[in-house]
Structure 1
Amino acid sequence: MEIKSYQNQAELFVKEYLLSDSVIPYTSVICGICACMMVYDLTQLFCNLYFKSYPNLSKIKQIEWCNRSISTFHAIFIATMSLYFVFWSELYSDHQYADLVVFQSSALSTFTLGVSVGYFLADLGMIIWFYPFLGGMEYVLHHLLSLAAVAYSMLTGEGQLYTFMVLISETTTPGVNLRWYLDTAGMKTSKAYLINGVVMFVTWLVARILLFVYLFYHIYLHYDQVKQVNTYGRLLILIVPVVLSVMNLTWFGKIIKGMRKTLAKRQ
């Protein structure tokens, strides 16, 4: 009976406090940061035990190895949730609710965005702390823009649909990280490296080029609703995807050049 009482109290605490609408953003951000710390530590422990080459890496390479495991974990989580909200959930349907699509949100969608905010805070902190070893100014700009847009959408509930559309682009991150892992492990000439390059090219084309075209088309169709968002939110909805699109096209060009070099070496 005593155990049951503690269980009921714990469930009540989670429901009434941790998952209440007023504290979900803050709880979820903390959960995101803690998850990043946990993944970093587990990666470090696992690699020291099972990867013989890991202890031989330089200190900064080991840090980047663990940092990329965090971004891979976040990418899998947020891409899965974003795909669900955008294409399978009825939350952002034009006909499901009386609210305008730009103002629709839920406890789960807000919590998901909060976890992502926690990741961007943790990762941005690492990038700045070890600058420029984990990424240059373009990474800082990317994370600042993403952080501003995701945090605003989380706190206000506005434009969450477009935020999740942009976050679907994280599907490319595991491939990018795997490419780095293969390169670091000395497998740049392997078939796995080539296959990864092809998959990365396709996913980048779909998730960071074509999907953004669909995003802009959707904004165009619903611009009368977008105009009802306050000025700051409207700027984020309109400007952030444009800036990220330019960055995506620039990086896509680098991917194409990298693939050409890889194919040339294999001939």
Structure 2
Amino acid sequence: MEDSTRLGYCVVAASFVAFQFCFSAASPQLSLSLCPGYSALPPVKRSEWNSRCVSTVHAMVVGLFCLYILWYDDAVNANPIWGEPRLVKLNVAITCGYLLYDLLLLIRYWRTLGDSLFVCHHLAALYAYGYVLSRGVLPYFANFRLLSELSTPFVNLRWFLDTVGWPRSSWLALANGLAMTMVFFVVRIAVIPSYYAQVFAWYGTPEYGRLGLSVQLAWIGPSLALEVLNVVWMYRITRGFYRAFCQPKPHKTA
């Protein structure tokens, strides 16, 4: 096993432990000190609150790292299939640790947090990212996929506002809803043509052939599955925003 691969698995383990610590210790303490309403939440809501705090931290770390790689990592951008994957492997390792932590959390709190779509998403991502960690292939496409995490903080903020009692008709909720809808569309839906333009540009090349059938299937199969999930989530978000912003509010009679 190469040193970089061994280091990647160590980062996965460290990431898993770090996110578990954030869920169990860091988030409860910070939430108690920063948000008075947190202490009044029932245990089930507190668990989801802590889970979404961890999710937000992961999204911000990984999403900003993705932007840096996309803008400044010339080796990855020059050869999306076999470019130098060192930084991408580090980012993917952080995400794999988070996905493993979140899968165990979903299983533990399945009655309240369980969602089959999230399980499918996590398993498909872990399957594809495993090849990035073990063989260092497809760094550009792996990094491109992780850009979708930039929409997560807005999704979580909507839940936080609902939980502490902010009405969805308030200016903050509407502003976040608009930002969430726009960012989600940009990083998950609008990028689909660009992503598959790169796929078709490298399809059939010698670099593509070197991947082997198993990696090719791990690349294309989960990608298509994630597109379906993103379209479903985009529909849900758009419908929710329309209900909150566009539908007329009923007026109370005197």
* TM-score after normalising by structure 1: 0.86
Q: Which residue in the other structure is 1:62 paired with?
A: 46
Maintained 8 Å contact 1:24/1:110: no
1:42 and 2:26 aligned: yes
Q: Residues of 2 paired with 1:163 and 1:26: CA distance?
A: 17
State the Cα deviation string for residues 109-150 of structure 1 (Å, max 9, x = none): 222211111000001110111114223111110111111112
Q: Percent identity?
A: 25
Q: Deviations over 1:142-195 (max 9, x none)?
A: 111111112221111011211111110111100000000001111133211100
CA distance in 1, matches of 2:5, 2:210: 24
Q: Does 1:261 align with 2:243?
A: yes
What are structure 1's unaligned runs of at least 5 residues?
1-18, 95-99
Note the 1:69-218 alignment, pairs <5 A: 69-94=53-78, 100-188=79-167, 189-218=169-198
The match for 1:243 among 215, 225, 240 is: 225
Q: Which deviates more, 149-158 or 175-184?
A: 149-158
The CA deviation at 1:101 is: 3.3
Paired residue for 2:200, among 220, 223, 232?
220
CA distance in 2, matches of 1:193, 1:234: 42
What is the match of residue 4 of structure 1?
Answer: none
- The runs of at least 4 aligned residues of structure 1 exceeding 4 Å deviation read none
CA distance in 2, matches of 1:240, 1:226: 17
Moved more, 40-49 or 201-210: 40-49
TM-score by length of 2: 0.90
Distance in 2, Cα, partners of 1:39 & 1:265 = 41
Deviation sequence 1:1-21 (CA, Å, 0-9, x none)? xxxxxxxxxxxxxxxxxx942
Deviations 1:15-63 (Å, cap 9, x if unpaired)? xxxx942521221112211220232221101112332211111111101
Compute the RMSD of aligned alpha carbons.
1.8
Matching residue's letter, 1:44: P
Deviation at 1:266, TM superposition (A): 4.9
| Aligned-partner residue type, residue 83 of structure 1 | L
Q: Secondary structure at the match of 2:4?
A: coil
TM-superposed deviation, 1:78:
1.1
C-alpha displacement of 1:197: 0.6
Tell me if 1:24 matches 2:7: yes
CA distance in 2 between partners of 1:34 and 1:242 (Å): 31
Instruction: Write the letter of the residue equivalent to 1:51.
Output: C
